[in-house]
Amino acid sequence: MKKRKCLIVENDLSTMEIVKSFVEMLPFIELSITCSTFKEAYSILITEKIDLLLLDIDLPDKSGFDLLNIFDSLPPTIITTSHIDYAVKSYEIGKVTDYLLKPFSFDRFVLAINRALAIKIGHSSIIDLPYIFIKMGRGLRRFEINEINFIEAYSIYCKVHTCNQYYVVNEIISELEERLPKSLFIRVHKSFIVNLTKVTGIDPKNIFINDQEIPIGRTYKQTFAGFLRLVEKQKYIQV
């Protein structure tokens, strides 16, 4: 499993310990360096290859905004701060992937990491994780990747179908398409994403996952056929 190097720039010692403990719970992130000042962070960023930056705004020598402004490009950056009024300025700079208001939960932290690394690696999400956290109601629910059969658009929400039931989640299908691992999931219709490993049958117009019949959209046929050739190494299947 590839680990991504993380730099924590945090002035508050208690928050530093919390963030370090959160990072240690994520097997795909390597806690490479921690520091508490602008000067230290600047030195690290110009000498080290960092994959993820967790940045406090209130530093003792300069503001975290100074760090954002001085670099033309930065690794995916998550702001950690006690000041809600910094949010607009953070996003206006255009280098921030998420904004964590102290104190924050582990679930909210994981969501921010997911967003940050999804941007970092383009069209993929955290593909090394065996699970994904998805917004559901007022919180987050953890879904094991191998338990998801397919995703179905449901107005401004989605239904996540597992082996035995489905869950209505507070994310649209295009958001989930970006976050799910591309090596396993593919959009086959404007309203459906399927887990390729769960497909039990195919006909010219539909995909079957056990007794569920899922239509193949006209504009997705070639994409689906090409995906099967690449992942399954099968010969071309005309759909």
| pLDDT confidence tier of residue 147, bands split at 50, 70 and 90 | very high
Which span out of 36-45, 115-124, 139-148 was modeled with the highest average pLDDT? Answer: 36-45
User: Can you tell me the distance from the alpha carbon of 239 to that of 224, in angstroms, rounded to the nearest whole number?
Assistant: 8
The total number of structural domains that make up the chain: 2
Give a yes or no: residue 126 inside a domain.
no
Instruction: Identify whether the C-beta of residue 50 lies closer than 8 Å to the C-beta of residue 32.
Output: yes
Q: Which carries the bigger pLDDT value, residue 93 or residue 166?
A: 166
| Domain boundaries, position 104 | 4-120
pLDDT at 128 over 60: no
Q: What is the CATH number of the domain that holds 76?
A: 3.40.50.2300
64 and 111 in a single domain? The answer is yes
Predicted confidence at residue 127, as pLDDT, reads 40
Q: What is the CATH number of the domain that holds 196?
A: 2.40.50.1020
Q: DSSP readout, 113-142?
A: HHHHHHHHTTT---TT-SEEEEEETTEEEE
95 and 188 in a single domain? The answer is no
Predicted confidence at residue 238, as pLDDT, reads 39
Instruction: Identify whether the C-beta of residue 11 lies closer than 8 Å to the C-beta of residue 59.
Output: yes
The answer to which of 84-93, 134-143, 209-218 has the lowest mean pLDDT is 84-93
Predicted confidence at residue 78, as pLDDT, reads 93
The pTM is what? Answer: 0.51
User: Can you tell me the distance from the alpha carbon of 85 to that of 182, in angstroms, rounded to the nearest whole number?
Assistant: 36
152 and 224 in a single domain? The answer is yes
Which residue, 120, 152, 172, sits at the end of a domain? 120
Nearest to 114 by CA among 65, 151, 159, 78: 78
| Phi, psi (rounded to 5 degrees) for 125 | -110, -160
| Cβ count near 232 (within 10 Å) | 12
Predicted confidence at residue 120, as pLDDT, reads 42
82 and 168 in a single domain? The answer is no
62 and 106 in a single domain? The answer is yes
Structure confidence by residue, pLDDT tens digits, 209-226:
999 999 999 888 776 666
